[in-house]
Structure 1
């Protein structure tokens, strides 16, 4: 992947899933960002945050995301646009993950990649470090900037991975 391709993936909305291939590690898919409307997102950004749309996208696209609520994940997979798609769901030991990556882990109480309508605000307080999350929050996502290179060490079990064409 060229630097320009990487920059585009980090700073622009993905209207469809993007296939990535690595000669040693194989194939991975970046989920589409159809529920993200850049114009609506622009209106949702906190004016004092200093974030533009590309900045916000760089922030979320530079993270590995984990859903904190299995029921919300099931609702996402049941949406018509994803109902016919194979999904591999990895169950992660949260205590193990946070012991290893808690200094980088961020929590949000919203689906940070959903911005279809200009409701709610986005800005510096969208993501908080784990140790600053108010007890009143019900976390929706855990985000780890830079990814989780040792994810296998934190899995509760290892599912069979279906092949995906495309």
Structure 2
């Protein structure tokens, strides 16, 4: 049981994060933030915050702050309360699940998964910022806050696969080798609790892509940048 930092980074040397187009300046300044961390930064409190963290978002939501400007909280179109209730099987409520997801930063471990999201009907016509991250660097700095998932935790289509509190496990508890032995995709999502404030130090490449236009590189790490 469990997987080491080294074994995970050898199997998945790169991580990928899709963000809203135009978000790179804010990410450079504040790091990659979960929804909850972003709401902290933008000082969103009370009923408005509770509604954002605990309810389904059928569309993206723009929030504003007098100092930090604007930020976009991504939609949750691939989920529904009805399907989540079935997937959770009574162990948690949909609101519980939304709060869990909103407290983490998410990464794909393969380009295949990234491209599937970029080409999804909800996103294919929109410009997106794509961050490519060095897995080993991220694990070295934040491995104690990393949790792994064997499924797309933010999707209940076409079938609401069972999920619960044990969906996200630390590396030391994750059944990496047993999933490989069964011919399953070892890991589907890598998450970091709350935020990755130093993400700029871990990124290899940032580009904007999609929306029917050629990709444009926004930032690349220097070849001799320290690891």
Partner Cα separation in structure 1 for residue 133 and residue 67 of structure 2: 24
TM-score normalised over the length of structure 1? 0.86
Aligned to 1:29: 72
The structure whose residues are more often strand, as a share, is 2
Partner Cα separation in structure 2 for residue 130 and residue 19 of structure 1: 34
Instruction: Establish whether residue 11 from structure 1 lines up as the match of residue 11 from structure 2.
Output: no
Instruction: Establish whether residue 43 from structure 1 lines up as the match of residue 89 from structure 2.
Output: no
* Cα pair 2:87 2:160 within 8 Å, conserved: yes
Match 1:154 to one of 202, 206, 216: 202
Distance change >3 Å, CA 66–CA 45, structure 1 → 2:
same
* Cα pair 1:41 1:118 within 8 Å, conserved: no
* Cα pair 1:65 1:144 within 8 Å, conserved: yes
Partner Cα separation in structure 1 for residue 69 and residue 134 of structure 2: 24
Match 1:141 to one of 174, 185, 189: 189
Instruction: Establish whether residue 129 from structure 1 lines up as the match of residue 170 from structure 2.
Output: yes
RMSD, matched Cα? 1.9
TM-score normalised over the length of structure 2? 0.64
1:59-110 CA deviation, whole Å, 9 max, x = no partner?
Answer: 0111111111211110111122211111100011111111111111111011
Deviation, 1:2, is 3.0
* Cα pair 1:36 1:114 within 8 Å, conserved: yes
> Structure 2: any 5+ residue segments left out of the alignment?
1-43, 180-184, 208-217, 220-227
The DSSP-based 3-state class of the residue aligned with 1:103 is: helix
> Structure 1: any 5+ residue segments left out of the alignment?
162-166
Distance change >3 Å, CA 3–CA 151, structure 1 → 2:
farther
Aligned to 2:120: 79
Partner Cα separation in structure 1 for residue 163 and residue 99 of structure 2: 14
| Higher alpha-carbon Rg | 2
